[in-house]
Amino acid sequence: MTEAGAVIRFPMEQYTVMGLTEVLTKIPAHWRLLSGLGKELKAGRYDLVILVDYPEFNLRLALAAHAAKIPTLYFIAPQLWAWRPGRAATIRAAVSRLAVILPFEEEYFARLGIAATFVGHPLAEMSWPSRVVSRTALGLRERDRVLVLFPGSRVQETHRLWPVFRAVGLHLLAEGACDTVLAAATTGSDYPDSGAIIVHRGESAHLLAAADAALVKSGTTTLESACTGTPMVVAYRVHPLTAWLARRMLSLDRISLVNLIANAEIVPEFLQEAVGCEALLTAVRPLLDPTGPESRKQREALDVVRARLGVPGAAQRVVALAEELLAA
C-alpha cells in the first residue's frame, strides 16, 4: 500500500501481537485508535471505508462508519462459516459490500442476506515456478525424491510441530523413501537437531514446486501447495486449552482450506493428539512416488482447487466495487 502511494498513518505492526497476555496489553491502544477514527468519521473526513481482514477491530470500525453514514467495503471477510456466525447481524447492518476470496463464501453470505462478491484469491495473481526451474535453483536432481516440511511461520507453531515433522523427515531419509528433505524456515524460529534435513531460509514457492510431497501446517500454505500441484499432508497443534475451546466453537468438520474449497477430504488432516510420527509417516510415504495412485489422485483434486481460486484481477475487481460504492 505504501508503494502504491497510500499514506500509512497508523502502522499496524504497533498493534498486532500473538498470545492472550500480549493481546490484553494492546487493548487500550486499539480503543484509542477506534475512538480517534470514529471522531474523524463523524467529521466527514472520509467518503468510503475499505476494511481488510482483522475482524475484531474492523467490525467495530464498520459500525462507526455506518453510524456516520459512510459506505463500507470489507475485503477478506470474517470467517463466519468457521466460527462465531452470530457476527452476521453486525455485518448485515454495518457493511455495504463484502469482497470475498474463497469461492464458497459468496453463496454462504447470500444465504445470510449479506451482499458479497467473489473477487478471486490473491494467490491466483502469482506466477508459480516450475518443477524444473525450482529444482535447478535449489541444486536438486530431477530423479531425487524430495519432501518439504512447513512447520509454520509463528514461533508457537514451529515449537509444537517441528519435533514431529523432523522425526518424519529423518525417518523417511533413513528408510530410503526419499533422497532429500527440506524445511521451510522463518526468521525468529529455531530448528534444532535437524540432522540431514536441509533448513532453507528463502523463497518458499521454490520448495513447494520442487517437492514430490509436502508435510505442512494448516493455513495458506495448503493453498500454495495446491497452486504448485504438490501433494500434501496437513497437520496442526495448538495449546490444549485452545483446542478445547475450538472444538466447542468451530462449526467445521475440516480445517484445511484445500479441503474446504473442494468440499471433500482430498488431503489427509491430522489435529492435536492425532499428530504422531507413525500416522504422518503412513500418510506421507505414498505421496513421495509421483507415479503412485495416491499422488496422482491428489494432484488431480488440487487442479480443481486451483481453478476454483479464480483468475488474476482480484485487486481490479475490488477497485470496481469501491468505485461503485463511491458513485452510489
pLDDT given at position 163? 94
C-alpha cell at 278: 507413525
Regarding whether 183 and 88 lie in a shared domain, the answer is: no
CA distance 75 to 100: 6
CA distance 3 to 123: 19
* Residue 126, domain member (yes or no): no
pLDDT given at position 64? 96
Per-residue pLDDT, averaged over 17-23, amounts to: 57
CB 233 within 8 A of CB 216: yes
Q: Which residue has the cell 489422485?
A: 297
Q: Give how many domains the chain has, as a whole number.
A: 2
CA distance 321 to 324: 5
* Residue 108, domain member (yes or no): yes
CB 94 within 8 A of CB 63: yes
CA distance 9 to 298: 45
pLDDT given at position 287? 97
60-78 pLDDT per residue, tens = 999 999 999 999 999 999 9
pLDDT given at position 28? 86
pLDDT given at position 21? 54
174-228 pLDDT per residue, tens = 999 999 999 999 887 889 999 999 999 888 899 999 999 999 998 899 999 999 9
Q: pLDDT band for 299, please (50, 70, 90 cuts).
A: very high
Q: pLDDT band for 283, please (50, 70, 90 cuts).
A: very high
Q: Which residues constitute the domain of residue 60? A: 12-120+313-327
What is the CATH classification number for the domain harbouring 286?
3.40.50.2000
Number of residues in the chain: 328
Chain Cα centroid distance, residue 288: 24
Regarding whether 142 and 256 lie in a shared domain, the answer is: yes
Regarding whether 31 and 150 lie in a shared domain, the answer is: no
CA distance 208 to 228: 6
Q: Which is nearest to 239 in space by CA: 11, 77, 20, 71? A: 20
Per-residue pLDDT, averaged over 26-55, amounts to: 92
Regarding whether 145 and 110 lie in a shared domain, the answer is: no
Q: Which is nearest to 214 in space by CA: 114, 129, 147, 117? A: 147
DSSP 2: T
* Residue 1, domain member (yes or no): no
Regarding whether 191 and 178 lie in a shared domain, the answer is: yes
CB 146 within 8 A of CB 132: no
* Residue 2, domain member (yes or no): no
Supply the pTM of this predicted model. 0.84
More confidently predicted of 46 and 238: 46
CA distance 294 to 296: 6
* Residue 244, domain member (yes or no): yes
Regarding whether 27 and 63 lie in a shared domain, the answer is: yes
**Beta strands 232-236; 269-271: pairing state:** parallel
CA distance 187 to 178: 27
Regarding whether 291 and 154 lie in a shared domain, the answer is: yes
Regarding whether 319 and 276 lie in a shared domain, the answer is: no
DSSP codes of every residue in 50-75: EEES-HHHHHHHHHHHHHTT--EEEE
Q: pLDDT band for 325, please (50, 70, 90 cuts).
A: very high
Share of the chain above pLDDT 70, in %: 95
Regarding whether 161 and 92 lie in a shared domain, the answer is: no
**How many Å is the maximal CA-CA distance in the chain?**
68
CA distance 254 to 259: 7
Regarding whether 187 and 92 lie in a shared domain, the answer is: no
Regarding whether 267 and 164 lie in a shared domain, the answer is: yes
Regarding whether 274 and 163 lie in a shared domain, the answer is: yes
DSSP 93: H
C-alpha cell at 193: 537437531
Cβ atoms within 10 A of the Cβ of 177, count? 17
Chain Cα centroid distance, residue 207: 17
β partners of residue 149 = 183, 215
Average pLDDT, the chain: 91
